[in-house]
Amino acid sequence: MKKIIFVFTLAAALMGTAAMAQQPEHNHQNCPHHNQQKVDQPRPDQAPQAVSCQSLPGDKECCHKEQSSQHQCQHHEGHCNHDAFRPHGQAIITLFEHFGATNTADGWTQNGFQMERAYFGYKYMFDPHWTATVIFDASEAATNGIEHVFVKNANVQYKNHRFTAIAGIINSSQAVLAEKYWGLRYVARSMYDLYGYGNTADLGFNLKYDIAPWLSADFSMLNGEGFRKIQLDNHYLYGLGLNISPIEHFDIRIYGDIQTHDTNAVSVSRGTLADTAVNPVARKNVHFFAGYDHRYFRIGAEYNMRFACNYLPGDNATGLSVYAVGKINPKLNLFCRYDRGVSSDNDLLSTAFQYAYDGQNIFAGVDYRINKLVAVSPAIQYHITPAGATSLYAYLSCKVNL
């Protein structure tokens, strides 16, 4: 009798072990309680595929309980469908505030508050490939100090694997990498923007293709006048850029563009020189950037060249900007930056040409992140003009990003 009991016990144990071995694993491809066909897992660069499973009669439970909450289950004739993506939107609200004073040879002047920027917009993702964005920019005009509202972005973007296309009023691709490395737009604009080597946004389109994990190329065709001057004409800006990441945390960008203009002669007056007829030529830009982002610091160097500024031959300008940001802790950063802009003489007009903010600028300060939404920065800007005059601007900047 004991032998019979032992045999039955051993047989039951072996059958249980065999049954457990035959059970499929509980993952996103197999359901232990439902009959389901295997679904190939998507590659990392693909959007997750929809998964469906056939429920047992009377079972109203979804077999993939461990899937994220964003997956929706809909029971239609005993089927359970998992949607990996839901259309969603996000409001965009960003404010840049300044309070400061300028010290010149006449003493401290121009004390007061300034609302430099206010961005309001909305971004909506229709599916994993299509996104639409609209952003309004309220900023102070340089001429009269009155706030004006412009459409900064109004575009549609398509992204699929390695290819990205965006059209409408889009951000310029010229120095997007330099902007990212500087990372302190609320304190001071990047050099290409501050010195007028390009526009932050413009009307047109941009195409980008990731050739390899370390290499990408982009081409753009833009109006060339910036987002504040949207008009129809026959003159376009054509830009071509390369992003190179030879090693981890190290990035290089090389960019160039050309913008055509009317070939008819225009009259130019400069200084005491009488009106002079000059044939316009195409304006060209060249931009180089290199940056290294370390765990404890990041450094960047930006170099710009502009040929035929204002479409006049001989009016050339170069600009250099180098900066470093020390990451003290997740909330506190120290930064310093040095800019230098130089313009050349125009041989045809035989008179000096000064481009935008020629001279030197030194920025230094502290970037403190109060929380994820608010950051403040006490900083100084020391400016030296080409003639040698100096001025000091001390200010407190604040960024609110909702």
Extended beta strands in 105-200, E state: 107-125, 130-140, 147-160, 163-171
pLDDT at 348: 60
pLDDT at 101: 82
- For a pLDDT cut of 70, what percent of the chain falls above it? 69
Q: Tell me the backbone φ, ψ of residue 161, rounded to 5 degrees.
A: 55, -115
pLDDT tens readout for residues 334-347? 999 999 998 876 66
Contact yes or no for 321/307 (Cβ under 8 A): no
pLDDT tens readout for residues 104-145? 765 666 677 877 889 999 999 999 999 999 999 987 765 556
Contact yes or no for 182/190 (Cβ under 8 A): yes
Q: What is the rounded average pLDDT of the residues 296-319?
A: 90
Extended beta strands in 10-59, E state: 51-54
pLDDT tens readout for residues 349-389? 655 566 666 889 999 999 999 999 999 999 999 999 888 88
Contact yes or no for 264/254 (Cβ under 8 A): no
Write the DSSP symbol of residue 129.
S
**Number of residues assigned to the chain:** 402
The CATH homologous superfamily to which domain 88-401 belongs is Porin (2.40.160.10)
Predicted confidence band at 25 (pLDDT cuts at 50, 70, 90)?
Answer: very low
Give the DSSP per-residue string, 246-288: EETTEEEEEEEEEE----S-EEEEETTEEEEEE----EEEEEE
pLDDT at 163: 97
Count of alpha carbons within 13 angstroms of residue 57, beta-carbon side: 0
**Token couple for 362:** 């030194």
How is the chain split into domains, by residue range? 2-82, 88-401
Burial 319-341 (b: 16+ CB within 10 A, else e): bbbbbebeeeeeeebebebebbb
Q: Which residue has the higher pLDDT, 41 or 198?
A: 198
Q: Name the residue among 377, 299, 378 with its Cα closest to residue 338.
A: 299
pLDDT at 100: 86
Full-model pTM: 0.74
For the four alpha carbons of 72, 76, 80 and 82, in that order, the dihedral sign comes to negative
- The alpha-carbon radius of gyration of the chain (Å, integer) is 30
pLDDT at 204: 93
**Cα–Cα distance for residue pair 390/388, rounded to 1 Å:** 6
Strands 332-343 and 130-140, bridge-based pairing: unpaired
387: three-class secondary structure by DSSP: coil
